[in-house]
Amino acid sequence: MKVVVQRCSKASILIDDSIKRNIDNGLVVLLGIHKDDDINDVNYIIKKLINLRIFEDESNKMNYSIQDINGSILLVSQFTLYANTKEGNRPSFTDSMKYNDAKELYELFIDNLKKTNINFKTGEFGSDMKVNLINDGPVTIIIDSKENLYENK
C-alpha cells in the first residue's frame, strides 16, 4: 500500500462533476492499493498517518500529528500510484490490486480509520474525481507499507 500525503490548509473533491467534499487544515491522502496488500498494510498506513508529525509547533518545528491539531483527512483512492512506466510510454497497472478486491480493502481502510476518531471525508472508489488543495508548506510525504513490512521481517 502506498500513500501520497499532502499537508493542506484547504482541500476539496468534486466527484462525477457533482458531489463536493471539503476539509480545512489537515491531510490529503492519495491511496494506492498493491495487488499483494492485506490488513497488515492497512493497519500500518493508518498508524503512520495518524502519528506522522508534519504539523508545526510554536517553534515552527514539525512536532504535531493530525491528532494533535484536531485536523481532518481527505482520503482519495488512486490506483495509478502503482503505475509501471519501465517499458514504453503507456503505464501498466498490473501491480495495482484488481477492482473488486481493492474496493473491499479500501472499505476496510475506511472502517479502520473510523476507529481512530480522526475527522475524515472520502472520495468515491472508482469514480471520476477532481481534487483541489492548497498544499501547506508545501509538505508532501510518500509512505509505502512494503518498505516497512519487509524491514521488520
pLDDT digits (tens, 9 = 90+) for 116-147: 999 999 999 989 999 999 999 999 999 999 88
85 carries an active-site annotation:
no
Q: Say what the pLDDT of residue 148 is.
A: 72
Instruction: Summarize pLDDT for 27-85 with one digit per residue, the tens.
Output: 999 999 999 999 999 999 999 999 999 999 999 999 999 999 999 999 999 999 999 99
Catalytic entry in 80, 94, 116, 122: 80
The CATH number of the domain covering residues in 2-151: 3.50.80.10
Whole-prediction pTM: 0.93
Return the beta strands (E) in the chain as ranges.
Answer: 2-15, 19-32, 55-56, 62-64, 72-77, 119-122, 129-144
Domain ranges of the chain: 2-151
3-class DSSP state for residue 45?
helix
Kindly tell me if the per-residue pLDDT of 152 is higher than 80.
no
